[in-house]
Amino acid sequence: MPELKETIRSYSEKLLNDFSFNKIVLQPTTTCNLNCTYCYLADRDTHHNMSIETANAISESIEKIGKPILLIWHGGEPLATGKQHFINLLNVFEKLRLKKIIRHCIQTNATLIDAEWCELFKYYEIKVGISTDGPDEYNQNRVNWANKQVTSKIMAGINFLKQYKIRFSVICVLSEKHLQNAKLLYDYFVELGCSSVGFNSPEREGSNDLVAKDFPELQNFWKELYQAWNHNPVIRVRELTYALSWIDSSIRRGTTRFIPKLLDLIPTISWNGNVVALSPEFSGVHAPKYENFILGNINHVGLDQIIQLLPEIHYYKEYVEGIHQCEKKCEFFSFCGGGQASNKYFEHGLLNTMETAYCRNVKKRLIEGVLNSLEQ
Amino acid sequence: MNKPNSIEARVLSKKDAIAALLERNPAGLANLRSENWNNFDNYDMRDDPDTEWNNWVDWDQDPNPFSNSDSDDE
């Protein structure tokens, strides 16, 4: 196994010389029909749809890159694009889909799902992810523009998915209220019928006005979540899978000091073709210091060319500097690979920094919680 | 040398606990170590569709990898 010193050198060299991605986040529309309190998107009350010309430019870029890529339709709310225009966008990629060069995923709030959308998901073989935070009393941050809760509409959408036998995953954003009720939440999502659930902690990002905060209670939350899952392991819990994979891999290597898998750049392409990398949350952000994180526009330059510019990009260089610090100093480095660029920026205003509240809440406390469970 | 309470020492001390967990569940073992699910093995491979930002995995592999049931609800 490589010593930590070697790891530092090889990983940083990789980040500056080897650019990897196998997914692209796409914004078919800026619009969202909801106004969730923690949303990071600034323009969700505007209405701009991605044009067919931009979709064509993306498709041509992917064809040139020539490797399998996952297209993640995000938003705004992707279903707020409107069915016909969304179909027109999907049809641009049909040749690539049929050749299995791309496949589609969608992350939706589920409130607009109906029978026609389900037919569409099936026809284009779209993997569906739902954003919901649990039972009604835990779902209070998910509201419409009239500040009304939308749990019943989310459930109606999920019922359509079930009726059409469409598998779905869930992302749940935690609030302080959730933290005392890990078992209740786990049982709820099992009952809901999802295949997988991921838990996001509340984060200071984009246009939301949350304050980055430590939640010491999360350690116990992760521990209780592990216990609930271990008692009835019928669905995947994203964070527990990461933690157990890392622990298992470390045991088999005989060390936790190994090089993590190379960072996925996650290029994110906004409705107008602007490209950002590292974090989808950078899309649409006003950050003059980093030229709003925009690397280029897909309508003018191919994605492969845009990505090759990264070593010269100020924010990417700063991000790599921050990663160096994490490698040298943090014993969790092989687990997290240096943390999320967006959390560093939105918490510290910089990218060449180390630890964030996100690191503590979602990485360190997760591992501690799982280890504590395993020790019992 | 690892300090006894370092994260590394604590992780490595869980060998038996992890083995017991996985022994109960061979499907879980296979998936925990598969490249679609695991960000920590085969670290130079770049075709893993699952990273920490998202929640999309290759459902076709095994929808309920920790379940002992053979049934598939599709």
| C-alpha–C-alpha distance, residues A282 and A295, integer Å | 11
Contact A266 B57 (CB under 8 A): no
* pLDDT > 70: percent of chain A: 94
- Calculate the CA dihedral of residues B48, B49, B52, B56 and round it to 10 degrees: -150
Q: Which residue spans within A176-315 are E strands per DSSP? A: 196-200, 236-237, 268-269, 274-276, 296-297
Do residue A261 and residue B52 have CB atoms under 8 angstroms apart? Answer: no
Contact A215, A201 (CB under 8 A): yes
Query: Which member of A170, A193, A251 has the closest CB to residue B12?
Result: A251
Instruction: Report the distance separating Cα A209 and Cα A287, nearest Å.
Output: 16
Task: State the pTM of this model.
Answer: 0.86
pLDDT confidence bin for B2, thresholds 50/70/90: low
Q: Across residues A59-85, what is the average pLDDT?
A: 92
Residues paired with A170 in a beta bridge:
A130, A197
Residue B28 has pLDDT above 70, yes or no: no
Give the nearest partner residue to A259 out of B32, B43, B54, using CB atoms: B43
Residue A278 three-state SS:
coil
Q: Which residues of B touch A (CB under 8 A)?
A: 6-8, 10-12, 14-15, 17-18, 21-22, 25, 28, 32-33, 37-49, 51-57, 59, 63-67, 69, 73-74
Residue B40 has a pLDDT of 53
Q: What is the mean pLDDT of chain A?
A: 89
Chain A hits for B28, Cβ within 8 Å? 233
pLDDT in tens, A18-63: 788 888 999 999 989 888 887 777 788 788 999 999 999 999 999 9
**Residue with more model confidence, A8 or A281:** A281
pLDDT for residue B58 is more than 80: no
The shortest CB-CB distance from A260 to any of B7, B18, B40 is to B40
Contact list in B for residue A367 (CB cut-off 8 A) is: 7, 11
Q: With an 8 Å Cβ cutoff, are B11 and A256 in contact?
A: yes
Cα pseudo-dihedral A47, A52, A58, A60, rounded to 10: -170
pLDDT of B54 > 60? The answer is no
